[in-house]
């Protein structure tokens, strides 16, 4: 899945039972397989984006629901994370933190 205007690729990755989907400036590619310092740097940038994001959306589901939401809403940047489903844990709600293109241009 890619964003049309910026040509940036949306990343979806699962690390130790937590799934992430994001397209945030300054965080390139997935952080799986990266050295620990780069993983921490990427997670810090994603957390900083989450803290300053102007909007929060909620979707029911997981990665597929996030992808559909991104295709429909076309946010400039976004970050979502959720605990991966297991035999013992199930949550069907995902928060998506995002910004709109017009907000970033002003």
Residue-by-residue DSSP string for 30-72 = --TTS-HHHHHHHHHHHHHHHHH-SEEEEEESSHHHHHHHHHH
The answer to whether position 4 is within a domain reads: no
Q: Of 6, 20, 8, which Cα lies nearest the Cα of 104?
A: 6
Is residue 65 domain-resident?
Answer: yes
Q: What pLDDT does 3 receive?
A: 36
Q: How many CA atoms lie within 13 A of 53 on its CB side?
A: 26
Q: Is 97 a domain residue?
A: yes
Give percent of the chain with pLDDT exceeding 90: 37
Residue 70 lies in a domain: yes
Q: How many domains, in total, are found in the chain?
A: 1
> Is 2 part of any domain?
no
Residues 63 and 19 sit within 8 Å (Cβ to Cβ): yes
On whether residue 54 sits in a domain, the answer given is: yes
pTM score, two decimals?
0.79
- Enclosing domain of residue 48: 11-105
- Banded pLDDT at 104 (limits 50, 70, 90): low
The reply to whether 83 falls in a domain is yes
pLDDT surpasses 70 at 91: no
Residue 1 has a pLDDT of: 39
The mean per-residue pLDDT over the stretch 24-46 comes to 83
Q: Is residue 5 domain-resident?
A: no
């Amino acid at each position: 899945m890619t964003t049309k205007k910026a040509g940036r690729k949306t990343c979806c990755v699962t690390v130790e039972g937590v799934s992430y989907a994001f397209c945030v400036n300054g965080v390139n590619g997935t952080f799986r397989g990266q050295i620990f310092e780069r993983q921490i740097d990427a997670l810090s940038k994603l957390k900083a984006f989450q803290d300053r994001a102007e909007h929060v959306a909620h979707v029911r589901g997981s990665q597929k629901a996030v992808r559909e939401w991104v295709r429909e809403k076309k946010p400039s940047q976004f970050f979502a994370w959720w605990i991966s489903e297991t035999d013992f844990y199930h949550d069907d709600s995902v928060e998506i933190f995002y910004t709109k293109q017009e907000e970033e241009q002003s």
